[in-house]
C-alpha cells in the first residue's frame, strides 16, 4: 500500500468517526435541551397545584419537566444562579428584584385570599363596605393578611389554621383570612364541615411561571402553549384537576 492510499484510507476513517461524534452530540444536545428542571417552594398546596399545571403545559409543548421542592430561599437561589432552569410560580413583581429570571407573560394560576365563615353566620351575606365591623382572625406572621385587614376594627392573630377554624366554630370570630387553596385543602384534610368561603375574596393575585434568562427562547413557547390551552378550554380543566388533587390529600 502506498503512503498516499494509506493516508486516504485513514482520512476517511477519521472523517467517519468525526461524523459519528457529531451525530451523537446533536442527538444528546437535543435530548438535553428538551429536559427542563425548575424549583418550587416545598410544603405548599399552591406549589402542588402550579406544579401539576406546568407538568401538563410542558408535556403539551413537547418538553420533559422535572420539579424539585425546596425551601423558599433555596428555590430563589437555585433559579437565579442558573442551577435550575426556573421556578414554578411567583407573583408578577418577583422578576423586578430578580433580573436573572424572565416571566412567562400568561399567568398560570390565580390565588385568592378568601374569607372563611360558618355557613349559618349572617356575616356570609356581608358586603365589602360592611367588612370593617366584623371580627377577623388572621395567621400571625402573614404580612399580606395583616395589610389587607389593617383598616378593620376587630382583628385577632393566631398561630395556626386549626385555631382559626375552631374560633369560627365557637362563634368567637366571623371570618378567618387565608388563601383559598390552603384553607380548602386544610378543611378537606381535617374533615371539618360547615365552613364556607364568602363570595367576595379580599384579594386576587395572578401567579406567573419564571425561567432563567439562559432559557429566554423557551419563554414564548410556554407562553403560546398556555394561551392555546386557555383558548381551547383545556387550561380550566387542568386547573380543576390540580385543585381536586390537592383538596383530596389524605
Same domain, 15 and 43: no
Same domain, 86 and 52: yes
Provide the pLDDT for residue 27. Answer: 45
- pLDDT tens sequence for the chain (250 residues): 565 555 455 555 655 655 655 545 444 444 446 899 999 999 888 899 999 999 999 999 999 999 999 999 999 999 999 999 999 999 898 999 999 999 999 999 998 899 999 999 999 999 989 998 999 999 887 777 888 999 999 999 998 899 999 999 999 999 999 988 888 888 888 889 999 999 989 999 899 999 999 999 999 999 999 999 999 999 999 998 998 887 664 4
Provide the pLDDT for residue 157. Answer: 94
Q: What angle do CA 248, 51, 104 make, to 5 degrees?
A: 140
Provide the pLDDT for residue 15. Answer: 58
Same domain, 176 and 228: no
Same domain, 41 and 27: no
Give the number of domains in the chain: 3
Same domain, 145 and 180: yes
Q: What is the CATH number of the domain that holds 223?
A: 3.40.190.10
Q: What global pTM score does this model have? A: 0.68
- Take residue 234 and report the three cell numbers written for it: 383545556
Same domain, 27 and 45: no
Provide the pLDDT for residue 30. Answer: 42
Provide the pLDDT for residue 14. Answer: 53
Provide the pLDDT for residue 26. Answer: 45
Same domain, 91 and 215: yes
Same domain, 159 and 42: no
Same domain, 229 and 115: no
Same domain, 237 and 116: no
Same domain, 124 and 191: yes
Range of the domain at 7: 1-33
Same domain, 147 and 28: no
| Cα gap 148→209, rounded to integer Å | 25
Amino acid at each position: 500500500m502506498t503512503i498516499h492510499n494509506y493516508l486516504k484510507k485513514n482520512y476517511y476513517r477519521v472523517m467517519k468517526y468525526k461524523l459519528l461524534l457529531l451525530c451523537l452530540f446533536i442527538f444528546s444536545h437535543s435530548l438535553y435541551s428538551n429536559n427542563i428542571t425548575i424549583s418550587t417552594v416545598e410544603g405548599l398546596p399552591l406549589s402542588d397545584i402550579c406544579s401539576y399545571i406546568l407538568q401538563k403545559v410542558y408535556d403539551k409543548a413537547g418538553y420533559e419537566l422535572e420539579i424539585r421542592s425546596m425551601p423558599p430561599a433555596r428555590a430563589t437561589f437555585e433559579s437565579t444562579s442558573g442551577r435550575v432552569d426556573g421556578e414554578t410560580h411567583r407573583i408578577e413583581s418577583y422578576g423586578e428584584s430578580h433580573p436573572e429570571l424572565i416571566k412567562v407573560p400568561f399567568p398560570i394560576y390565580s390565588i385568592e385570599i378568601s374569607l372563611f365563615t360558618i355557613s349559618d353566620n349572617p356575616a356570609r351575606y356581608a358586603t365589602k363596605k360592611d367588612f370593617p365591623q366584623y371580627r377577623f382572625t388572621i395567621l400571625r406572621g402573614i404580612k399580606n393578611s395583616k395589610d389587607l385587614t389593617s383598616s378593620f376594627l376587630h382583628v385577632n392573630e393566631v398561630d395556626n389554621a386549626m385555631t382559626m377554624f375552631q374560633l369560627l366554630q365557637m362563634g368567637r370570630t366571623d371570618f378567618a383570612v387565608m388563601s383559598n387553596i390552603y384553607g380548602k385543602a386544610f378543611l378537606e384534610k381535617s374533615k371539618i364541615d360547615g365552613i364556607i368561603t364568602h363570595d367576595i375574596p379580599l384579594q386576587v393575585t395572578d401567579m406567573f411561571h419564571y425561567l432563567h434568562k439562559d432559557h429566554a427562547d423557551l419563554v414564548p413557547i410556554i407562553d403560546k402553549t398556555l394561551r392555546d390551552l386557555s383558548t381551547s378550554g383545556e387550561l380550566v380543566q387542568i386547573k380543576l384537576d390540580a385543585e381536586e388533587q390537592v383538596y383530596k390529600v389524605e
